[in-house]
Amino acid sequence: MPDAFAWTESYWLVRLVFQRALAVVYVVAFLVAARQFRALAGEEGLLPLDEYVDRTAFRERPSLFHLFPDDRVVGAAAWTGVALAVCALLGVPYWLPDPYAVPASMLLWGAMWALYLSFVNAGRVFYGYGWESMLLETGFLAVFLGAGPSGPPVVVMWLLKWVLFRNMFGAGLIKIRGDNCWRELTCLDYHYETQPMPNPGSWYVHHLPERFHRLEALGNHVVELAVPFLFFAPQPYAAIGGVATIAFQLWLMVSGNFSWLNALSAVQAIATFSDGVLTGAASLLPGVSLAAPTVAPAPLPLRIAAWLVALVVLALSVKPVKNLLSESQAMNTSFDPLSLVNTYGAFGSVTRERYQLVVEGTNAADPAEGDWTAYEFAGQPVRTDERPPQWAPYHLRLDWQLWFAAMRPRPGPRQRWVAPFLAGLLNGDEATLSLVGENPFDGDPPERVRVLRYRYRFTTPEERAETGEWWRRERLGTYVAPVSGEAFEREERRAIRGSRAVQ
């Protein structure tokens, strides 16, 4: 079977770099699962695993944990994923003789994809982010890249470009359609302050001149709406588009914490290069010499499999393309239970003010305002004198949900996890406390907890010079009124009585 475009470009080095970079993302993703999944969505998590099993059919959201809803299986799957990702990072399939390299690579990348699919489908709201389905789609295509001395099926490199195109172009379209400030080039006046999780650079970027933010917003539209069409152009134009995309993603990494969204987008952009581009770029560096080996075409069975995958992707692309062209475009949506071909987009609208939840506890019998002490979170601001931290590409899942929750003055249906979270704090539950940055009640859980809602804003340069603080805040109201462990016990007893009455 002919391999499209194989007569013009080689991709052996590109595959090598791409696989190593994607393996790094997988390492981080599985580490996050190992450290957080059980507390968030395990057997006794904030959204218990048995709820997923009872309310969801396996065919709708397949997962290993649907078959084995056990925290020990969750832990084993997460750490197995870490080990497999490290093997991919080290290039273990390349160590094997030629006949075994390709099947070993397919088995390795296929196992990582299946394990991570299990976490995404069982994680529900805590795994409801666009970069989860993006990692699954990218990881699935990586299964068919092969390894060893032969080159990859070039059609798979083009499928990776197709993922990157939908990623970037979808993000550009949702902005143009979603919020007037993107059309007026003013969204970035607010974004760095109101984004889900600012990082150490966010305060400084926020205070850059307005003219810079206008040019920046215009550049955003160029990179997301025009540059993606270069991905499918001949070299060196495709590589120019890839370089522009990587530079754009690096800027986003400097100015905010977006988990591995930007890192994964940069990894996808590696597919826009060719071996000739990489060796040519290396020759421009003093003392650096890089040569691509002479490679044979991918084995025939792998090429057949790759073209079958291409046909599947083509068929499954119909709904994502319709979504891209729709005036009611949806962001970050999967159209199949395996997340094989998805639609992407980010920040279709930008909030103008930053709302923040602050969780407090007390042991006072009749607490006054001064008796309440705040819990610190690892990524969300609480103290006004604390500089925003750097966490990306690591993902703090509870912190992200706190940002979404703060959008509303009261908990809504998607915030069912709030009550179990507060109950865990009152009980001093170790798993729940592992999700908190700093526990001020170590060894002595509070008698009551409450959640306050604030408006936060960055300090001005003058305020920062005078006070050393990064934030100013204003209390807006009470998100959850003071509640005690006894109240939760009464609710549990009421729920038990209700379930017995139904039976």
At residue 283 the predicted structure's pLDDT band, cuts being 50, 70 and 90, is: confident
Residue 494 has a pLDDT of 47
Crossing angle of helices 154-178 and 130-142, rounded to 10°: 170
Token readout for 297 is 């075409």
* 6 pLDDT above the threshold of 80: no
Contacts of 465 (CB under 8 A, 6+ apart): none
Q: Is 3's pLDDT higher than 50?
A: no
Considering the chain, what percentage of its residues have pLDDT values greater than 70? 95
470 has pLDDT over 50: yes
Counts of helices then strands in the chain (DSSP H, E): 21, 6
- With contact defined as beta carbons under 8 Å apart, do 151 and 11 qualify? yes
Of 377, 381, 383, 369, the C-alpha closest to 478 is: 369
- pLDDT at residue 41 above 70? yes
| pLDDT for res 490 | 57
For residues 53-92, one letter each, b for 16 or more C-beta atoms within 10 angstroms of the residue's C-beta and e for the rest, the string is beebeeeebbbbbbeebebebbeebbeebbebbebbbeeb
Q: What is the mean pLDDT of residues 351-379?
A: 95
With a pLDDT cut of 90, the percent of the chain lying above it is 84
User: Mean pLDDT, the chain, as a whole number?
Assistant: 92
Alpha carbon 427 to its chain centroid, in Å, reads 30
Contacts for 378 with CB less than 8 Å, ≥ 6 apart:
389, 391, 396, 399, 436, 437
Amino acid at residue number 115: L
User: Residue 351 and residue 191: Cα distance in Å, rounded?
Assistant: 7
pLDDT over 90 at 78, yes or no: yes
Tokens of 56: 């969801």
Whether 428 has a pLDDT exceeding 50, the answer reads: yes
Asked if omega into 393 is within 30° of 0 (cis), the reply is yes
In angstroms, the Cα distances linking 179 to 148, 183, 222, 256, 343 are 48, 7, 17, 20, 19
Residue 76 in this model has a pLDDT that exceeds 50: yes
Give the Å distances, CA to CA, from 364 to 249, 439, 483: 48, 17, 13
User: Do 295 and 16 contact (CB within 8 A), yes or no?
Assistant: no
Please give the distance of CA 299 from its chain centroid, rounded to a whole number: 34
Residue 268: name the closest of 5, 25, 6 by CA: 25
Give the pLDDT mean for 76-97.
97
**Interaxial angle between packed helices 154-178 and 12-41, expressed in degrees from 0 to 180 and rounded to the nearest 10:** 50
Cβ atoms of residues 37 and 63 within 8 Å: no
Instruction: State the pLDDT at residue 288.
Output: 72
pLDDT in tens, 162-216: 999 999 999 999 999 989 999 999 999 999 999 999 999 999 999 999 999 999 9
pLDDT, position 291: 76
**Residue 365 and residue 372 in contact, taking contact as beta carbons nearer than 8 Å:** no
CB 122 within 8 A of CB 41: yes
Distance CA 448, CA 361 (A): 6
Within 10 A of 287 (CB to CB), how many other CB atoms are there?
4
Q: Summarize pLDDT for 100-137 with one digit per residue, the tens.
A: 999 999 999 999 999 999 999 999 999 999 999 999 99
Average pLDDT for 370-389: 96
Q: Which residue stretches of 188-299 are H helix?
A: 191-194, 202-206, 210-221, 237-255, 261-269, 275-283
pLDDT average, residue stretch 268-281:
93
Element (H, E) at 24: helix 12-41
